[in-house]
Chains A and B, each alone.
Chain A
Amino acid sequence: MALAPKVIMTWFFTLLFLILLALRLDQNTKWNWFIIFLPLWIFDFLVLCIQLLRIITHIRTGHDRHLEMTMSTKIFFVIGIGLKLLFQVLLCVRLEYKHDLALFYVFIPLWVMLLFGSVRLTPWLVKQT
């Protein structure tokens, strides 16, 4: 996919989420937090589908279509999306139903994701400078 459709997709769902979030935080609505996060659920689902399709193409043809992502990058992305989804679900559960759920449990998926992300970005850092 080219850059523009991806950017527009990201922009659209982020905008929608921000609007819903602002409404909810200002107490203008009393909607369930899972509904507030709906744009993000859809976005994550789309991203997951795109990545899985790329993995399938990779396996069938033996190489990446645009030769820009290795298999490990794609698998890493899928795991990342999974961790992010888990974090969002836990956050929604905490905000909506279980107010006494320890924050550490909510944040663990995020921490794992950020930790792996920053480790992954470091080799690039070394290569560049």
Chain B
Amino acid sequence: MRNSGNVQVLADSAAMLFTIKEARRWLGMTVFEMWINAVSLLVFSVVLALKGEGIINASWWVVFLPLFIATGLNAYFSIIVFVRLYVEDLYRSGIMRILWSGLVLALIFVFELLLCKRLENETTVSSSLVMSPLFVMIHVLLIRACQVS
């Protein structure tokens, strides 16, 4: 319960400082991907509150479903963009884009998976281990910022 509440604070902590253009450059995300993330967070937090208050009795996997779907959609979208760039002979930018998005998406996915398993008591790893993909991710994003600016 506590974990997930905090995850959200983290997710939107940077949103207010950057313009949409800067966020696009930095995160390498299109507006469409950001929009998917915002909507999935909204759905996730509603389901989370319902579960927290004991109104629905779903497993954590169901609660995290919106986030998994969003990650999957983003991955799908990234692949589509890669194919488009490849067809248009923009190999370099296509490969760079899919490497960055793929890395970040993979880290997010590992984090969600670990958090879910931990909340379901399927593993007994410590919270710091669960959060390790996030630690890696913010450094990856830091390096990316150096690259784009």
Contacts and interface: CB of A to CB of B under 8 A. Distances in A.
Interface of A: 2-4, 6-11, 13-15, 17-18, 21-23, 25-26, 37, 40, 43-44, 47, 50-51, 68-69, 73, 77, 80-81, 84, 87-88, 91, 95, 102-104, 106-107, 110-111, 113-115, 117-118, 121-122, 124-125, 128-129
Interface in B22-55: 22, 25-26, 30-32, 34-35, 38-39, 41-42, 45-46, 48-49, 52-53
Contacts of B25: 3
Contacts of B145: 3-4, 7-8, 11
Complex A-B, nearest 10 residue pairs according to Cβ-Cβ distance, in ascending order = A25-B127, A7-B145, A22-B128, A114-B42, A118-B38, A121-B35, A103-B49, A103-B52, A124-B31, A3-B149
Given A17-B10, A113-B12, A122-B35, A11 B53 contact: no
A68 B19 contact: yes
Contacts of B12: 84, 110, 113-114, 117
A57 B37 CA distance: 32
Nearest to A13: B13
Contacts of A9: 17
A2 B149 contact: yes
Identify whether the interface residues of A are mostly helix, strand, loop, or mixed.
Answer: helix
Interface of B: 2-3, 5-6, 8-10, 12-22, 25-26, 30-32, 34-35, 38-39, 41-42, 45-46, 48-49, 52-53, 126-128, 131, 134-135, 138-139, 141-142, 145-146, 148-149
